[in-house]
Structure 1
Amino acid sequence: MKWSVALMVVLIAFSSSFAGTYGIHHPTDAVQESGSADESTYIPEMRWLSEEHPLISAEQVEHYAGVGISEGKRAVIMYENGSVSYDYFSSGNDAYDLIIIAPDDWKDSLAPLQQHKESHGIQTMVVGLNEIYGGTYFSVQGRDDAEKIKYFIKNAIEEWGIEYVMLVGSYYRLPMRNAVHIWEDRHRLVTFAIPTDLYYADIYRYEGGTIVFSTWDTNGNGVYGEVYEGDLGENDIIDVYPDVYVGRLACENERIVRNTVEKIIKYENKAYGEEWFKRMILVGGDTFPGWGVVEGEFMNNFVADIMKGFSFYRIQYSQGNLNAVEIEKALEKGAGFLYYSGHGFPYGWATYAIDDENETWVGRYFIPYIAALFNGYRLPVIFLDACLTAKLDFNSSDLREDGVPMPINATFPCFAWSFVRHPYGGAIATVGATRVAFTGVDEEGPHWGAGLLAASFFEAYQETDILREEFAGAQEAYANNAPGDTFTLQEFILLG
């Protein structure tokens, strides 16, 4: 029996009892940072979507300068007390628009995608990892494979004028950088690693009036993206603005590459202008029963107000239809977007009934259910406002922690990627978190965390219908609106 079938059987067998370890973390009191003796700044509650989370907090930032890409143009971005300005500059040549980076033995399977993109006027080049490591196109720079890839992207920007990067490969086939958050617990330092593709998008930073390469290791100790709680250590200086539009196809093998390429080509050739695309599926319940607003449904409705011109299929606890069957029916009909707000796991999602003090899981939807989807090219882009759904290093230990007996050690496709890799339907792309997430939502709307990034993502759609630009626009807007939070920007990735 293949591991994928075995995983399906195990998840279905235990779906009624597990998915409980990652319960809600009841929020602490709202934080107030003192200014003068007679004034303070209110910071909305940081509500973690998991009981197991890092002991971090977002800091107030008054001013900084970074480098990013906005509307296809690179700029120095100045932030000053909530005001943002852009100083655009030229980035040189325009030989290519898109580079696809993948293991060398997959290049032939990616050739149809290259041809498809070029037929639509997108100059595309497929580059093998060994070509990068061996210096086929540019001199090799970098201390490890991830940094060599990042330097290659920098050179491709400056020499070829690229704007888009497609990474093809799973967590184990194409390197993923781990950013590190460090805090003190019982007089010992705890290290929390966050797999992130923002590392490959954030090529530059601004230092002393000069644009420089962003190593994510400014303290030079070989640990990348370090953020210490308080004064425990020297933070790495990172610029969280993306400088290139990055997404990943987390393919495990060449068969998945071929299936995914075929799926993308079919979608891009047939979906444009279809009536089903103007439908949007909204899924949510009460993420934190008894705490203020009904967060999941509130965020569903908040996003609906942003997405003008769409009709909405609400699958919510208050509608009485929050169940897997209703979700399957909605996806089969086709939709341009699906937005879920609630709790998440590497293998699915689930949330709570409104004001349910017992916190009983409702609306559960797991990886095995995706296999039953046959929605063809009627594929949504899915934003998963939740924990862990894009945990690309999902493995047996995650299931054991949730009480699922796994006698073998194995790795599995995570929930977010399972939608994209499904050959007969699912989704064309997903946005999800590689680790636990937090949110800050009250009756005024989302203030930070997963909820604010979700709202920023759908607001960016009002400016562009190019997915990678939409995601980068959301990252940029989030950095401007919540400049003290690198955690959220690092953990959310685009798959597709």
Structure 2
Amino acid sequence: MYMFQCDKRGVVRRHGMHKIYIKIFILFFMRRILAVLIIFVMLAPSLGENVYNIKDSEENETTTSIATYDFLIIAPDQWLDSLQPFVDFKEMHNVKTKLVGLSECLKMNGRDDAEKVKYYIKYAYDTWEIKYVLLVGGRKPGFKERWWMPVRYVYNSFGSGFWAEPKFLSDLYFADLYDSNGNFQSWDTNNNGIYGEWRNGSVDKGIDLKPDVFIGRWPARSEEEVKIVVEKTIDYEEHAYGSTWARRIVVAAGDTYPEYPSYEGEITTSEALQYLEGYNVTKLYTSDGTLKGWRDIVREVNKGCGILYLDGHGNPMSWTTHMPNSTEWIPDFKVTRMIYLKNNGMYPICIVGGCHNSQFNVSFTNTFKIYEGIDKWYRYLYKGENSPECWSWWITRKMGGGSVATLGCTALGYTKEDKKSWDGATTWLEPHFFWEYGVNGTKIIGAVWGKDLRDYLNRYPIDWDSPPESDSAIDAKTVEEWVLFGDPTLPIGGYSD
């Protein structure tokens, strides 16, 4: 009897005894499989614990390995390539930078685009521990108000009739993420879709207002403007340190309120100067004849200076002040006269005290909006809201001259003379900016801005139960409207390395 036999195709077939061997083979391996299963069941709890611990370890490793960043830049997607050299420069100076397209931010949940951007900043703050934020983008061209980067209007309402200002722009909204109890700050505490409201019958009480991140904006209206400010900012931060021009400050002021006995602008700028040491100071004052008009400012800026501080009156199109004890205005420093700024490579940080110099929603198209009514059209022209771009941004994005960063008001600016207490407002805020830098030693411009606002709110806490247009409402508006056009991570005086 044969165990194997080939068929006609040569394939081995099993006969007879092969069935017995198969049964033995199955029994042998079944016993071993059963033994393995018993051991597995007995050890299952401890194995489960080991698997859980490994998973926890992996999660911990993932958590600890999440990248952290210092600086978040949000920009329209189509402008990202133009910002990459700036990102590379920041990384070279050990500023960990995250560049994000606006479309990514708009994936967040939110009631409108501005809130979505704010939630993304909150996410970046919570996840990456970012400290600084730069919003890139201003108003788009055209008659209709549309934005490259979302904005937030705040309804801390003031005035009536011709001077009514029911709303204004506030970038502080994007920086104030949490209150002191860790609650998200929507700036709409009564949930009616109107933000920062302080007017008759409705108040968004309890807004914290203190910035959790330090924020700046480049309100560029084109990619070319982005390229200009990138180049200017890198130039300043790379070359300002150690230069004689960067240790020079120019101040310009006069008799802000002729109806009062003192020269308010000159007093405020003089107070600011006392906080700076080691600076070569040039004072341009109407009281001594050194400031007769805009040409005096341009002449001194063109010599090179690290700081330019103007204190007086303004609108989106110009800045000026009064001759002493007179209602006469000096020839104003209009945006159209900035073509005479030739301080290429010697760009100052500019602090401008005046109304609306940083009102970045203006447009030349307002010149033609007579169809909205004669009264409204006249207000556009009288208030300078038909300027192609606002004064503060114009001087910042000026090619071959101008400033590297500018701080100013997006709305009506207030001084102590506007408060019943005769204390605070920009009369305190602006000089304290210099104190924070010169005395307290904060060197990064965004941090100086943010700490200045925090200190102001600590000194003048907001009473949300006071009526609209009260001193507290002025204090709130003073911080809400003060905006930084520039790189918030900019080191004042440039990098030393």
User: What TM-score, normalized by structure 2, do the two folds share?
Assistant: 0.74
- Secondary structure at 1:243 match in 2: coil
Residue 338 (1) aligns with residue 313 (2): no
**Which position in structure 1 is the counterpart of 2:134?**
166
Whole-angstrom distance in 2 between the partners of 1:94 and 1:362: 54
Shift of 1:483: 2.0
Shift of 1:403: 8.6
Whole-angstrom distance in 2 between the partners of 1:94 and 1:354: 57
Correspondence 1:441-452 to 2 at 5 A: 447-452=423-428
Whether the aligned pair in 1 keeps the contact of 2:74 and 2:136 (CA below 8 Å) is: yes
Residue 181 (1) aligns with residue 156 (2): yes
Whole-angstrom distance in 2 between the partners of 1:98 and 1:109: 17
Shift of 1:315: 1.0
Unpaired runs of 5+ residues, structure 2, are 1-64, 140-146, 368-376, 463-474, 487-497
Whole-angstrom distance in 1 between the partners of 2:331 and 2:352: 14
**Which position in structure 1 is the counterpart of 2:103?**
130
Whether the aligned pair in 1 keeps the contact of 2:310 and 2:353 (CA below 8 Å) is: yes
**Which position in structure 1 is the counterpart of 2:195?**
224
Correspondence 1:195-344 to 2 at 5 A: 195-206=169-180, 210-229=181-200, 232-322=201-291, 323-344=293-314
* CA RMSD, Structure 1 to Structure 2 (Å): 2.4
Residues 387-443 of structure 1, C-alpha deviations (whole Å, 9 max, x = no match): 01001012348765369599xx9762100000111110100011111111110169x
**Which position in structure 1 is the counterpart of 2:436?**
460
Closer, same or farther in 2 for the Cα pair 1:297/1:397, shift >3 Å?
farther
Alignment length (residue pairs): 386
**Which position in structure 2 is the counterpart of 1:103?**
76
Whole-angstrom distance in 2 between the partners of 1:235 and 1:367: 36
Whether the aligned pair in 2 keeps the contact of 1:386 and 1:450 (CA below 8 Å) is: no
Whether the aligned pair in 1 keeps the contact of 2:187 and 2:204 (CA below 8 Å) is: no
Whole-angstrom distance in 1 between the partners of 2:166 and 2:380: 22
Whole-angstrom distance in 1 between the partners of 2:396 and 2:443: 19
Whole-angstrom distance in 2 between the partners of 1:446 and 1:263: 39
**Which position in structure 2 is the counterpart of 1:51?**
none
**Which position in structure 1 is the counterpart of 2:323?**
353
Closer, same or farther in 2 for the Cα pair 1:133/1:127, shift >3 Å?
same
Which of 369, 372, 376 is the aligned partner of 2:340? 372
Whether the aligned pair in 1 keeps the contact of 2:250 and 2:282 (CA below 8 Å) is: yes
Letter in 1 for 2:304: G
Whether the aligned pair in 2 keeps the contact of 1:343 and 1:351 (CA below 8 Å) is: yes
Whether the aligned pair in 1 keeps the contact of 2:251 and 2:283 (CA below 8 Å) is: yes
Residues 438-463 of structure 1, C-alpha deviations (whole Å, 9 max, x = no match): 10169xx9831122110121111122
**Which position in structure 1 is the counterpart of 2:166?**
192
Shift of 1:319: 2.5
Unpaired runs of 5+ residues, structure 1, are 1-91, 135-139
Which of 401, 417, 420 is the aligned partner of 2:378? 401
Whole-angstrom distance in 1 between the partners of 2:395 and 2:130: 28
- Secondary structure at 1:268 match in 2: helix
Shift of 1:466: 0.6
Identical-pair percentage:
34
User: What TM-score, normalized by structure 1, do the two folds share?
Assistant: 0.74
Q: Which has the higher helix share?
A: 2
Closer, same or farther in 2 for the Cα pair 1:194/1:183, shift >3 Å?
closer
Residues 24-43 of structure 1, C-alpha deviations (whole Å, 9 max, x = no match): xxxxxxxxxxxxxxxxxxxx
- Secondary structure at 2:120 match in 1: helix
Runs of 4+ in 1 over 6 A off after TM superposition: 183-186
Is the radius of gyration larger for structure 1 or structure 2? 2
Residues 99-136 of structure 1, C-alpha deviations (whole Å, 9 max, x = no match): 110100000000000000000001111111111113xx
Whole-angstrom distance in 1 between the partners of 2:430 and 2:422: 9
- Secondary structure at 2:458 match in 1: helix
